[in-house]
Amino acid sequence: MARFTLPRDLYHGKGAMEALKTFEGKKAIVCVGGGSMKRFGFLDKAVGYLQQAGMEVKIFDGIEPDPSVETVMRGAAAMAEFEPDWIIAIGGGSPIDAAKAMWIKYEYPDITFEEMCKVFGIPKLRQKARFCAISSTSGTATEVTAFSIITDYDKGIKYPIADFEITPDVAIVDPELAETMPKKLVAHTGMDAMTHAIEAYVSTANCAYTDPLAIFAIRMIQADLVGSYNGDMAKRDAMHDAQCLAGMAFSNALLGIVHSMAHKTGAAFADYGAHIIHGAANAMYLPKVIAFNAKDPAAKARYGVIADEMKLGGANDDEKVRLLIEYLRGMNDDLNIPHGIKFYGADSYPCEQGFVPEDVFLARLPEIAKNAIGDACTGSNPRQPSQEEMEKLLKCCYYDTEVDF
């Protein structure tokens, strides 16, 4: 028996935030990140709508990119004090992911972070509050997913929390918020969405309910991402829907080792002054993982279907896989994303020598590979890597060399 879970309600299209006026409750806490939602007036708008609904509203702001365990605990403490019956998270993936984890700790004060990270092991939520997610970026799709990514900075590791319990009750997908994204964010979140859709389609947990969502998202992203990056607002609006469809697919079909590797490399070199931004990591690793997974016959055939849907040509599946890899690398070029960690600058742009020194990468490689194999996303990857294979694959992602194993 399989399960397919999405938010009960999804409001979409311009002006969808007005749905907040219809919410029933006494108190709402609004979780938000840095300044963009304030600067563009969306936070005030959300608070105003909730007040029109008759609720007392508290703001928990300052949630950082790649939110920490400490931020989660502070937010949960604020919730325990305020006792909201609605948790509203607005912004990119970081505030929404953080609010999901806060929600768990608010409902179960004694739960530890380690217990929260037990895959599909969260106790029943909604005893104290319901959850609404309003996404401002077109990539993570956390507004419709059963996932949250939280960073333990002491260990330099990003941990996925995975459980259908944290699927939001309400998702609001309003493209007006996405129109404010800076160009670099458009690129990274867009390739995150492409990775979601492709990994969901080849995942071992794919099914007839997730396949159409994944394929349609891939076709939309192919049609709209580069144009969105170059300032076409109609395509920017379309991408906000495309990433949500990709999220619906992967929340139920799960992901693969592109995400495992991105999770475990993202903060692994923070002591050298930067993170490898999640969407950029996915973009760099995806072509390498496709080459690795295509050694599995079932995965190769599925990549062939993706290439057909993208109308890339190819007389057989081997040619189609090659053309798919070439196309995705070309997208990275169009979006100014590097092809390997060695060439990833601290500002995320391509450069001759990135911020991660070779000797540091090689010294940390065994531990990163071990952690990636243990990541929650690895289990549904179509080809299970050994420690040696994961290390070789990560080396290919560092040096941008061909995967031939």
Q: How many residues does the chain have?
A: 405
Structure tokens, 315: 């007389």
- Quick one: pLDDT at residue 34? 80
Instruction: Let me know if 39 is exposed, middle or buried by CB neighbors in 10 A (0-12, 13-18, 19+).
Output: exposed
Cα separation, 98 vs 138, whole angstroms: 18
Q: Select from 106, 130, 98 the least CA-distant residue to 34.
A: 98
- Quick one: pLDDT at residue 155? 86
pLDDT tens for each residue of the chain, 405 residues long:
999 999 999 999 999 999 999 999 999 999 999 889 999 999 999 999 999 999 999 999 999 998 999 999 999 999 999 999 999 999 999 999 999 999 999 999 999 999 999 989 999 999 999 999 999 999 999 999 999 999 998 888 888 899 999 999 999 999 999 999 999 999 999 999 999 999 999 999 999 999 999 999 999 999 999 999 999 999 999 999 999 999 999 999 999 999 999 999 999 999 999 999 999 999 999 999 999 999 999 999 999 999 999 999 999 999 999 999 999 999 999 999 999 999 999 999 999 999 999 999 999 999 999 999 999 899 999 999 999 999 999 999 999 999 999
- Quick one: pLDDT at residue 303? 98
Helices (H), 83-182: 93-107, 113-116, 175-178
3-state SS class at 134: strand
What is the pTM assigned to this prediction?
0.95
Q: Select from 180, 187, 256 the least CA-distant residue to 225.
A: 187
Strands 147-152 and 157-162 come out as: antiparallel
Secondary-structure percent of the chain, ordered helix, strand, coil, rounded to 5:
55, 10, 35
